[in-house]
Homo-oligomer: A and B are copies of this chain.
Amino acid sequence: MIGHGFMGAAHSQGWRVAPRFFDLPLEPEMTVVVGRNAATVEASARKWGWAESATDWREVIARDDIDVVDVVTPGNTHAEIAIAALEAGKHVLCEKPLANSVAEAEAMAAAATAAAARGIRSMVGFTYRRVPATTFARDLVAAGRIGEIRQVRAEYLQDWLMDPEGPMTWRLDKDLAGSGALGDIGAHAIDLTEYITGQRVTSVSGILETLVSERPLLGEGIGLSGTASAERGTVTVDDLALFTGRLESGALASFEATRFRTGRKNALRIEVSGSKGAIAFDLERLNELEFYDATLPETGLGFQRILVTEHDHPYLAPWWPTGHMLGYEHGFSHQVYDFVTAISEGTQPRPSFDDGLHVQRVLDAVERSSAAGSAWVRADD
């Protein structure tokens, strides 16, 4: 595993727990975690149960006893590491968003295609596809239970940047983070929309907005911790992204990604309205799916709150009895299960790097639309 921030903890939990619940065709070994600082990465290795730590990812990639590379570094390093790993013949799981630019993502997708020809697998880490309720939503849509899709609303609402005195961090610097709310959380809303509807966003019109443009620098400059200083840095990413996309079928989807929606902590929500029904999901209640069956008699119509905790629901069989809830990190176990199964079976896991590239194109199109006064911009070429 390359990288050991918050995502490192989540991925480690996935690798650790998945084999204890799912019947994996291969038993993953948590061999080595890589970071730039020898002391802190060694601490992470010990904490998370990796056998070793290392500071040079190139050396690790060159090792014969490594079969899989899990990339959880910031987005600006994904391309270099993932491409090198694929070329070294390692299966690669890469955190989302795939890259910080379309060009990088294209190179990665090309490398993934080339690697696939040699039996090497790659996947992007959009784990919210693997919440049982979202997978079940996709299944209902695919089974025609909501009919033809008429419109979509997808939003990812947080409020952790509300305080204008909150510090300037790497996530607010375009060079490091690529974009702001758009790429960090909007990417999830786009991927989830494409996953559940089975359709891609082909063009977009939107606007990006930075609500707080200067923030206190931390003592040591841009970072994740430290004491705020009197100096101020310039926020170069968006705080809020509002955009409309057109899906392949022609239906419109309306998107919002924001870190300023006061009181909403982690509300990735999607509602898909169809000719025969609708589904609605909210990550703040991740064990529930709302389903509306418009084919029922008029007096019996209403959104159903389905607890997606039955053994026959997606991913649920090895977990707990009905009504016992899953949490955030279970998606990472499901990701490991799917990824390892695909490697073992020699199939292409999804979301592929191509899927990730497409999301990157949509993000890029939103930025271009915003720059062009919300003009419609194609996202599929």
On A, residues with C-beta under 8 Å from B are 6, 9-10, 12-13, 16-17, 20-21, 47-49, 136, 146, 150-151, 153, 158-160, 162, 164, 205, 207, 209, 211, 240, 242, 244, 252, 254, 256, 258, 260-263, 265-267, 271, 273-275, 277-278, 283-287, 291-292, 294, 298-310, 312-313, 320-330, 373-376
Q: How many copies of this chain are found per oligomer? A: 4
Question: In whole angstroms, what is the CA distance A17 to B9 when docked?
Answer: 12
Partner of A20, one of B16, B136, B271: B16
Question: In whole angstroms, what is the CA distance A309 to B160 when docked?
Answer: 13
Closest beta carbon of chain B to A132's beta carbon, Å = 10
| In contact, B326 and A260 (Cβ under 8 angstroms) | no
**Contacts A158-B323, A262-B274 known; 12 new A-B pairs at CB < 8 A:** A13-B20, A151-B211, A151-B260, A162-B294, A283-B325, A284-B323, A300-B304, A301-B307, A302-B306, A324-B327, A325-B325, A327-B327
Contacts A13-B17, A20-B12, A20-B48 given; indicate if A301 touches B244 (C-beta within 8 A).
Answer: no
Contacts A20-B16, A278-B262 given; indicate if A328 touches B324 (C-beta within 8 A).
Answer: yes
Which residues of the other chain, B, contact A312 by a CB distance below 8 angstroms? Answer: 298-299
Which residues of the other chain, B, contact A274 by a CB distance below 8 angstroms? Answer: 262
Contacts A17-B17, A291-B300, A294-B263 given; indicate if A10 touches B273 (C-beta within 8 A).
Answer: no
| In contact, A260 and B284 (Cβ under 8 angstroms) | no
* CB closest residue in chain B, given A305: B302
Which residues of the other chain, B, contact A6 by a CB distance below 8 angstroms? Answer: 320-321
Which residues of the other chain, B, contact A273 by a CB distance below 8 angstroms? Answer: 159, 260-263
Partner of A256, one of B207, B254, B258, B324: B254
| In contact, A266 and B12 (Cβ under 8 angstroms) | no
| In contact, B10 and A320 (Cβ under 8 angstroms) | yes
Which residues of the other chain, B, contact A301 by a CB distance below 8 angstroms? Answer: 263, 304, 306-307, 310
* 11 intermolecular pairs with C-beta atoms under 8 Å apart: A13-B17, A20-B48, A160-B322, A207-B252, A263-B273, A267-B323, A284-B307, A291-B302, A299-B308, A299-B312, A302-B306
Which residues of the other chain, B, contact A302 by a CB distance below 8 angstroms? Answer: 263, 291, 304-307
Closest beta carbon of chain B to A185's beta carbon, Å = 11
Which residues of the other chain, B, contact A10 by a CB distance below 8 angstroms? Answer: 320
